[in-house]
Amino acid sequence: MSLAAEAFVSQIAAAEPWPENAALFQPLKDDQVLLSDCASSLAVQAYLRMCNLPVQVCCRANAEHMSPSGKVPFIHVGNQVVSELGPIVQFTKAKVVGCVSGQGLSNGPLSCKRHLQHCAEGSAVFLQGHSLSDGLDDVQRAEMKAYMELVNNMLLTAELYIQWCDEATAAQITRPRYSSPYPWPLNHILAYQKQWEVRRKMSAIGWAGKSLEQVYEDVSQCCQALSQRLGTQQYFFNKQPTELDALVFGHLFTILTTQLTSDELSDKIKSYSNLLSFCRRIEHNYFQEHERPGLDPLSIRPSLM
């Protein structure tokens, strides 16, 4: 199949209603998942909850190798597999989120299915796309993207550095967790191979020569910029969350609730009271109030104090 044909098929599939059995895949929660992957997974979960798109979290030992990009998390929606927050945001913009017919507006996949007959008769129109940033103007949208780049370039990179380049963390936490599902000697081979890949990336972007103190300072400066942008607002833009809020929450909350060899990383965030309130707000609004019986809130670690 040509690239154009594949793109067309993907576009058609994305335009189908969001299914009830959509799944998000990540590494094993208790024994394997690392700080950076946990943060990225939580960011996607937060985004989907903000969009009111249900997803079941599935933990797999080989989630990283199942992902089309080699990165987690990824979602399986219908016959589509999409990994990482950015592509997932674009994917959800093409999904059907409701339809208007003679019976009024309906939301969600079940309601849309009930209206398929009316749509076929020409009396219903499907509402395409689900975007949290539609209310932003061009300047705000550009600013939002700039802050998302800041988070990815600073917080995510710092998480990777601490995991794999700080030898104490790598030896005590990262390599044992990353390799935990695999037997000897494969566990050691895979862990050191991953460490080599990350350290090679750090060299390519100029982080290999940084000290741990310099990395903590980068994190502090990133948090300062986020704190100043947030100010006294509930969310970074207007009164409604965007994908930036989901991304920031995923990383900050995970850092605050993950035990490392030192508390210095989380202490940088705790210096900014509005960022702590921001994390509590999103946790309360999207992971506690909306829980149904049988679901595990956050599916990660203890809540903020």
Report pLDDT digits (tens) over 168-220. Answer: 999 999 999 999 999 999 999 999 999 999 999 999 999 999 999 999 999 99
CATH code of the domain occupying 138-288: 1.20.1050
- Domain parsing of the chain, residue ranges: 96-128, 138-288
Give the model's pLDDT for residue 94.
Answer: 82
Q: How confident is the model at residue 15 (pLDDT cuts 50, 70, 90)?
A: low
Residue 106 has pLDDT above 70, yes or no: no
Give the model's pLDDT for residue 131.
Answer: 87
Q: How confident is the model at residue 39 (pLDDT cuts 50, 70, 90)?
A: very high
Residue 305 has pLDDT above 80, yes or no: no
* Average of per-residue pLDDT values in the chain: 86
Looking at the chain, the whole-number percentage of residues with pLDDT higher than 90 is 75
Sign of CA dihedral 21, 132, 123, 105: positive
Tell whether pTM > 0.75. yes
d(CA 92, CA 164) in angstroms, rounded, equals 33
112-127 average pLDDT score: 42
Give the model's pLDDT for residue 300.
Answer: 40
136-156 average pLDDT score: 98
Residue 38 has pLDDT above 90, yes or no: yes
Which stretches of the chain are DSSP H helices? 3-14, 35-50, 63-66, 85-93, 109-114, 116-120, 138-150, 157-164, 167-169, 175-179, 186-204, 212-230, 243-257, 264-270, 273-283
Q: 251 or 4: which carries more pLDDT confidence? A: 251
Q: 125 or 132: which carries more pLDDT confidence? A: 132
Pairing mode, strands 56-59 and 104-107: unpaired
pLDDT for 89-100, tens place per residue? 999 988 755 554
Q: Which stretch, 2-6, 110-114, 250-254, has highest mean pLDDT? A: 250-254
Q: Considering only 36-40, 58-62, 235-239, which range has the smallest mean pLDDT? A: 235-239
Give the model's pLDDT for residue 12.
Answer: 55
Using alpha carbons, select from 261, 262, 276, 260 the residue that is nearest to residue 223. 276
Residue 284 has pLDDT above 80, yes or no: yes
Give the model's pLDDT for residue 103.
Answer: 47
